[in-house]
Structure 1
């Protein structure tokens, strides 16, 4: 047995060495091939460092080429899909934006229109525009009720006809459109057919071009086949791939890298030069690494500024760098799919790295300076070619080549953490291209600000009611007193970064954790949430009907609530509907701290009834795929707060304050609901403690309404 083990080990070693010495590293979202170690200076304690020689470069490149050839054979690679005209757009889709449907530049709830031109014009102004957009209609709101991934698209304002027109508006501007798929969404309403067929049909209905696989290590071939079957080919873009074989039908991926000094080579781009990678690095404040690694690899970038309603806008410097990188990549896109791509072409200056992209018509070099200082002088030596001319494509000027035996030396500047490009051609290049880049690069990137400030948030004003001297019918008096308002937001992502959650009027910026010692005024609050019967009385008396009536009182039939639902909390009402009811009743919606004070009193208790959870104080959690029928508002008197306020927690969420910044509107929800979709951490989180709240992104009343969301009112008290 020992002998067999030794023989197997001996056989395994050559097999491993036969593959590659430069093993791609990282998880399936970060598969990158390391540069030659000699390109990065080592510290004295790391051993002797010697700069790369030509032999080092040649050996490294030969090893990578051998590995690529062998990998293609091992997986039976077939790249025919990349040659199909219907999907060729991916090979020049360098700049893709992930865009939240709640972005205020994208939809105007007042006119009930998608404002695609406004959205795109802003991106053109700030960083040169995009080639594709990933329209994001799901997370983080998904799971508030049982609408699934497909429902979240179909419930966009105007339904499928309006979404189809929105997609056509992007196409009119030359922008391809993608939507996400969430196969982790197995806790909401079940779909009626297979996921591949359902998704293919939806994308065909709206005319979309592709699908992003959220959290997916590859989109299975069945999805591609389902789209082909109905003659609406789609491009799929997972976050990574489970195997190199999947490269044949996943024509795009995200690149979620670490960024060493010497740029790594993207595994999938190396295996298939026509493959498009969009580097996604949403939380970093600086995008220089993203753009340099993209330019070096001849791939693209994911401009993701609105991160689940948290604004991380690109800086003016990064915006200008994006404009220049994107312009060059679009101009010379034909070079960036060269099958003879040579990463880490030998350069003369330390910390300057280049890729060589040869075609019959000429050669392009994409160059990045990773140093924190400018690089000047001779940058690279290229083979001499009779009749060839050389251009600094980044600065838009012709270079004077210095003959060096069988080669030429090329000198040009590259600023600190900047970019460069050289074009060698026998023919005269486009003068328009040179002029464009000469004008664009006239100012160095250092002239543009490298920092951006978070967007300031504004609380939507709440008009005080006519003061009452005693508690109106159905309301409870909340006495004046001291209150320690301590609360935290439950947004799943973002940590405690500036911009996460909310900025209260007394805070100088949004953050997750909040604390303020307050002196509460006396006020009155509804003992119970507003019921269906109470809301029907309002409808009957006022004739109220919202302008955007999509999903309004969706659970009602023939103008009334279901039998037996009169004393259950009204749901499927938006923030505007709740405000209209409150105004009719001479009331208003509570500020969040009023809601919390009414729920906890002044002793800081964890739940309205005390510090320990009581299952009998709340409705039974609904762990199935569908929203359960709410309990009556007075069904759980054990859950009353110190002031006697009931049904605060675990039945239906309750509207409180609204906030907005330049790009996002959102409301603070309190109390949680009984609905608990299972199977994923990504669903809208519950907030049933007194010191927790939910943040719901707002788009349009018809979309914001939910089966689990109601409200209660307050009235101001006379002094």
Structure 2
């Protein structure tokens, strides 16, 4: 009898120990949610690394972020389909263009265009025109009525067979709506960049200093002569199914390339200077971005920060596949190479 009592006590002690190991400081159990990974909090140098690219200026500074969970992959068509079926949600690209909202972003007195131009649609990559230079993006970007997340290349296309590909043509509010439904949120720029470095903050890429070490392709980006000829050396011309490439040290897939990803931060060109002003003890803690958008090139268009680059980034053009790179995108814009992933708070 004594033997069984002793075994019972040992079993209870073991279960109690396991329970305590799962609890945070507040005693609330923390279990990594399905299909997410824990990104342990820490400090890193945010911004461009000196010598990383001859097109950028070094602007590193210290940032501290708390621990958080992050989706291991970009949100897929299958996942977004489930959200839409359960909620009946319609994306921005599926609704007529809101002229009252758009004219706020245009010069005063701009005449209202024909109603046909305000029909539902989105921006698609269509390099069928003659290309004269790499400055005029209208040579390969086209507004197409009927393009949306269910019809990524236009009204005659579909997502059949693309269930594991990242959902695209989602505006910021679409991504935020999905995140709320999933009990999550969109990452801040600082969280995204910290996670995107894969626990190796001093390297240009999560895997090292070379984009294609020993000729190996570790992300989905554009090879060849942009924008007309993609040699598909990485195996893909457009989006790739998530998990087509190896994960980083955290277990995150496709943080670089495949599709750009929304963050929750409003865009301002001088954010690094603003963050430096908030340094305490040498670090800026959990920065959340500016209070409003400020793009000097398009001051009337509210924009959010996107990160990670996409299948359209090439060494010739838009080589923004470094974790520190950032772009500004209109909050109401859906595009053929823009998606998202979510994060979730760690209970304390």
- Tell me, yes or no, whether TM beats 0.5: yes
Change (3 A) 1:474 1:556: farther
Task: Give, in whole Å, the separation in 2 of the partners of 1:468 and 1:663.
Answer: 45
Shift of 1:588: 0.9
Measured in 2, the distance between the counterparts of 1:557 and 1:534 equals 21
Which residue does the alignment assign to 1:712? 341
CA contact (8 A) 1:532 1:561 kept: no
User: Could you tell me whether the CA contact under 8 Å between 2:77 and 2:159 is conserved in 1?
Assistant: no
In 2: Cα distance, 1:630 partner to 1:718 partner: 34
CA RMSD, Structure 1 to Structure 2 (Å): 3.1
Deviation at 1:468, TM superposition (A): 8.0
Q: Tell me the distance in 2 between the aligned counterparts of 1:559 and 1:586.
A: 34
Partner of 1:609: 207
Within 5 Å, which residues of 2 pair with 1:274-673? Answer: 469-487=30-48, 514-546=59-91, 549=94, 550-551=121-122, 552-553=148-149, 554-555=151-152, 561-600=158-197, 601=199, 603-614=201-212, 615-619=216-220, 621=222, 623=224, 624-625=227-228, 628-637=237-246, 640-656=247-263, 657-659=265-267, 660-661=293-294, 663-673=300-310
Residue 717 of structure 1, CA deviation = 0.7
Cα distance change, pair 548–672 in 1 and its aligned pair in 2 (3 A) = closer
User: Which residues in structure 2 correspond to 1:229-268 (within 5 Å)?
Assistant: none
User: Structure 1 CA distance, aligned partners of 2:68 and 2:205?
Assistant: 21
For 1:616 and 1:706, how far apart are their aligned partners in 2? 24
Deviations 1:205-233 (A, max 9, x none): xxxxxxxxxxxxxxxxxxxxxxxxxxxxx
Distance 1:630 1:548, change over 3 A: closer
2:287 maps to 1:686: no
Cα separation, 2, equivalents of 1:633 and 1:714? 17
User: Does the aligned pair in 2 maintain the 1:653–1:711 contact within 8 Å?
Assistant: yes
- Equivalent residues of 1:483, 1:602 under 8 A apart: no
The corresponding residue for 2:101 is none
Structure 1 residues 501-539: Cα deviation after superposition (integer angstroms, max 9, x where no partner): xxxxxxxxxxx7533312220100011101111111111
Q: Distance in 1 between matches of 2:42 and 2:314?
A: 39
| Aligned pairs for 1:165-184 within 5 A | none
TM-score (norm 1): 0.29
Tell me the residue number matched to 2:110. none
Deviation at 1:687, TM superposition (A): 0.7
Q: 1:669 to 1:620 in 2, by over 3 A?
A: closer
The structure where strand makes up a greater share of residues is 1
CA–CA separation in structure 1 for the residues paired with 2:308 and 2:32: 23
- Equivalents in 2 of 1:707, 1:558: separation in Å? 13
Matched with 1:413 is none
Q: Are the structure 2 counterparts of residues 690 and 528 from structure 1 closer, same or farther at C-alpha, using a change threshold of 3 Å?
A: same
Instruction: Say whether the 8 Å CA contact 1:569–1:710 is kept in structure 2.
Output: yes
Q: May I ask how many residue pairs the two structures share in their alignment? A: 223
The Cα shift of 1:676 comes to 5.0
Q: Which runs of 5+ in 2 are unaligned?
A: 1-27, 50-54, 95-120, 123-147, 231-236, 268-292
Structural mapping, 1:109-258, within 5 Å: none
Q: Deviations over 1:559-602 (max 9, x none)?
A: 99522211111111111111111111111111111111112125
Return the alpha-carbon distance in structure 2 between the equivalents of residues 547 and 597 of structure 1: 30
Structure 2 vs 1, CA of residues 481 and 651 (structure 1 numbering), >3 Å: closer, same or farther? same
Could you say if the C-alpha distance between residues 476 and 468 of structure 1 is closer, same or farther in structure 2, counting changes exceeding 3 Å? farther
Partner of 2:99: none
Shift of 1:690: 2.0
Report if the CA contact (8 A) 2:221-2:310 is conserved: no
Deviations 1:312-358 (A, max 9, x none): xxxxxxxxxxxxxxxxxxxxxxxxxxxxxxxxxxxxxxxxxxxxxxx
Aligned counterparts of 2:345 and 2:30: Cα–Cα separation in 1: 9
| Greater fraction of residues in helix | 1
Distance 1:474 1:663, change over 3 A: same
- When normalised by structure 2's length, the TM-score is 0.57
